[in-house]
Chain A
Amino acid sequence: MSAWGKALLWAIIGVALVFALGAYNKSIAAGERGSFVMNFPATGAASGGPSPRALTGAVVIPLGSRGAIKQALQPRVIEVASHMVSNVGDVPRRIRFETTGFPPDTEWHSRDRSWNPATHEIERDLAPGASVDFGLLVRLPDPLPARSVPVSGTIYIVDARTGQRLSELPVRFEQSGFPTTVSDCCAPK
C-alpha cells in the first residue's frame, strides 16, 4: 500500500474511533445527564417555550441507560442542566428558579457570577437574547421507589420582581420493568 493509502487508512481509523465513542456516549448520556434548552417567557402550550424541548414537553432521563462506570460508582447522582436558559422576550428580566417534586437534598448551581445560591436568583437583568446556565444535582432515593417513574419534578422560571411564572419544564426519571399506569398494574393476567 502506498504511503498516502496508509495515511488515509489511519485517518479513517481515527474518524471511526471517534464515531464509535460518539455512539457510545449517545447511548449512555441521556441516562446520566438530562440536558435541556429552556426559554422564557414561554410562548407555546408546551412548557419549555419555543425550543426543541417544547416538542416533547419534558426532560426524560432513562435510568436504565446509564453507563457501567456510572452505575458502579455514582448511580444515585444525576445532573439536570442547561447552558441555554434564554430570554426570548423583548424586555430585560431578572429571574429566579423554583422547583417542585425533586428530592430535598437536590443541589442547585449556575456558573453565572450573579447567581445567588440562597435565593436561586440571577441577580442581574437578562437582556433579550441573553442566556444563563443552570443545573440541578439530583440525588435519587436509595432504594428507588418501585415504579416506572420513581422521581419526577418541575423546574420553573419565575420573574424575580413580580413573582410571575415565565416558563416551566417537567423532568421525569424513568426505569423499566415496572407498570406505567394503574390499569397496567391491575389488569388481569
Chain B
Amino acid sequence: MPRSSRLASNRLNRLAGFALGLVLFYAPFALLIRGFGMLFPASAAGTSVSDVHGACLRMPFGWLTQPWMWPTIGSTPVAWLPIAVLPIAAIAAGPLFCGWLCPAGALPEYLSRTVPDRFKFDFKSRVDIVPLRYGFFFGILLVPFVSSSVCCALCNFNQMQNLLSGVFGNFSGFAYFSTMGIMAAAVWIVPLGLFTRGGRGWCMFLCPAGTVMGFASWASAKFPWALRVRNNQSACTGCGTCEDVCSMRAAGTTEETVQTINRHLCIQCQDCVSACPAGALTYGKP
C-alpha cells in the first residue's frame, strides 16, 4: 500500500476511535459513565446526569493538591480514571487515549488540516514545548492557592460536550457562558487549533491529563514490555516526513538526520509509522 494511503487509512481508523470516544464519554451516549454509574450507584456517576462531566479529566488533578478534597477522590471512582487508570495505561502502551480516543483533542487536529501550513504557528521551532507544558501543569495545580482555579474555566471537554449536545438538539450548554469559557473555546479551536502546526496546541499545553500521560509514557518507555512508537535509526533517511505529519510535534530529525521521538509529547497516533517511506518507525516493544 502506498504510504499516502497508509497514512489516510490510519487517520480514518483514528477517526473511528474518536467516534468511540464520543460514545464512551459524551452525552447523549456516555456509555462508560453509565457503566460506572451502574457499578457505583451511590457515586456521582450513579446519581448525576451522564455526560463528560461524569469522568472529569481535569478537576481530580486539582483535588490532589487540596487535602480537604481527598475524601472526594476516594468516594468518586471515576476520579481514578485520569489520575491512575490512564497513566497506568500510558505506562503500558503510551497515551493511546490522546491519539485514538479523545474527541476534544481530535477536533482541532482534524479541523487544522483545512488550513494551509504556511498560515500556522509552529511551536516546535519557537518554544521549548516540554518544560512549558510542565510549567502549565504545575501552574494549574498551584493556582488555587494564590488566586482562582482555572480547571473548569479552561475546560475544552465541556466545550466539546456543549457542541455535541447542540448537534443532538440540546442547546442548554449555550444558555449561559462566561468570559473565560468563551476565551477558552476560541483559543482551543482557533489559535491553538486551526493556526497551530498539528492542530494540537491545547493538548500540548493545557491538558493536565495529557501531560501526566506524557510523563508516564516518557518515564516507562524503556521498560522491555512497554509498547511505544519505536525508531530504527539506521533505517532513517532523514526525509522529515514523520515531522510533517506529527500532530504533537513530537517526531523529527536532528541535524545529524537521526530520527527522534519526544516521549513526553508522543500520543502514539502512529501517523508517522504509517507515513515513513523507509519503514524506520514501528509500534511495539523495544
Q: Give me the interface of A with B, judged by CB distance under 8 Å.
A: 6-19, 21-26, 28-29, 32-33, 66-70, 73-74, 77, 79, 107, 109, 111-114, 124, 132-133, 137
The reply to whether B48 and A111 form a contact with Cβ atoms under 8 Å apart is: yes
Nearest CB in chain B: distance from A136 CB, A: 10
The 10 closest A-B pairs by CB, nearest first: A14-B135, A18-B139, A67-B179, A11-B135, A26-B148, A22-B143, A7-B131, A22-B147, A10-B131, A15-B139
Q: Cα distance A124–B49 when bound, in Å?
A: 14
Query: Please, how many angstroms separate the alpha-carbon atoms of A102 and B144 in the complex?
Result: 31
Q: Is the CB of B176 within 8 A of A28?
A: no
B149 adjacent to chain A (CB < 8 Å): yes
Which secondary structure dominates chain A's binding surface?
A: helix
The answer on a CB contact under 8 Å between A33 and B178 is: yes
Q: Are B131 and A11 in contact (CB under 8 A)?
A: yes
Residues of B within 8 A of A69 (CB): 179, 182-183
The one of A16, A28, A32 in contact with B139, judged by C-beta atoms closer than 8 angstroms, is A16
CB <8 Å contact, B135 and A26: no
Do the beta carbons of A14 and B133 come within 8 Å of each other?
yes
Partner of A14, one of B47, B132, B176, B180: B132
- Which residue numbers of B lie inside 8 Å of A, CB to CB? 47-49, 53, 127-128, 130-140, 142-144, 146-150, 153-154, 172, 175-180, 182-183, 205
A107–B174 CA distance with the chains assembled, in angstroms: 13
Q: Which residues of chain B are near A133, meaning CB under 8 Å?
A: 48
Nearest CB to that of B48 among chain A residues?
A111
Chain A residues lying within 8 Å of B182, measured Cβ to Cβ, are: 69-70, 73
Cβ–Cβ < 8 Å partners of B127 in chain A:
10
Contact B128 A67 (CB under 8 A): no
Min CB distance A95 to B, Å, is 14
**Which of the residues B49, B146, B149, B178 comes within 8 Å of A67, measured between beta carbons?**
B178
| Cross-chain contact B134 with A11 (CB below 8 angstroms) | yes
Note all chain A residues with C-beta closer than 8 A to B147.
Answer: 19, 22-23, 25-26
Judging by beta carbons under 8 Å apart, are A22 and B149 in contact? yes
